[in-house]
Amino acid sequence: MADNDFPGWHGTTIIGVKKDGHVVIAGDGQVSLGQTVIKGTARKVRRLSPGGFEIVAGFAGSTADAFTLLERLEAKLEATPGQLARASVELAKDWRTDKYLQKLEAMLIVTDGRDLLVITGAGDVLEPEHNVAAIGSGGNFALAAARAMMDSDKSAEDIARQSMAIAADICVYTNGNLTVETISG
């Protein structure tokens, strides 16, 4: 089987919702290889505490690559305590210019309770419009659902959970086994 014939790892939906002083990041638990579900209970949303500051991060893409990026982000945050945006930009710059990091296939959504950011391998650090960000195979489904609910009376967590349920109903690479982390700004 040639490298380009390998079915590859698919799946994951991660959403971040910022509303009423709370930020929620939720992610599903499915890991797929081609058309096969390898695991249904993966934890793709994690709390980090570099330098005593609480951060929540969710990742989509290769797990090993995502953990490499999370370790690098923690190091950047330890060097710039309490400055998530600055640490994220520094990570994105390294990711864009370092030949080793350029090969990593993952994306991150991160928050400190104030900022909600998407970090990509293209060197982007994006602050989403409408206080909602989503990545992964079901990301667009979850994003659309969340945006439709943002003007409702629902909490950030309710919006994230309901958006993930909608994505899981549509995307075959997303399941309803959620990890949900909330942080306040």
CATH of residue 40: 3.60.20.10
12 is annotated as an active-site residue: yes
Task: Specify if 176 maps to a domain.
Answer: no
Task: Specify if 82 maps to a domain.
Answer: yes
Task: Specify if 184 maps to a domain.
Answer: no
Task: Specify if 42 maps to a domain.
Answer: yes
3-state secondary structure the chain: CCHHHCCCEECCEEEEEEECCEEEEEECCCEEECCEEEECCCCCEEEECHHHCCEEEEEEECHHHHHHHHHHHHHHHHHCCCCHHHHHHHHHHHHHHCCCHHHCCEEEEEECCCCEEEECCCCCEECCHHHEEEEECCHHHHHHHHHHHCCCCCCHHHHHHHHHHHHHHHCCCCCCCCEEEEEEC
What is the reported pTM? 0.90
Q: Domain span at residue 41? A: 3-170
Tokens of 78: 């330890």
Distance CA(134)–CA(108), nearest Å, equals 10
144 pLDDT band, cuts 50/70/90, is very high
Write the pLDDT tens digit of every residue in 81-95: 889 999 999 998 888
The mean-pLDDT minimum among 2-11, 80-89, 99-108, 150-159 falls in 2-11
CA geometry: angle 165, 167, 173, nearest 5 deg: 115
Task: Specify if 136 maps to a domain.
Answer: yes
Task: Specify if 182 maps to a domain.
Answer: no
Task: Specify if 105 maps to a domain.
Answer: yes
* Domain count within the chain: 1
Q: Looking at 12, 13, 111, 174, which residue is catalytic?
A: 12
Write the pLDDT tens digit of every residue in 101-115: 777 778 899 999 999
Task: Specify if 185 maps to a domain.
Answer: no
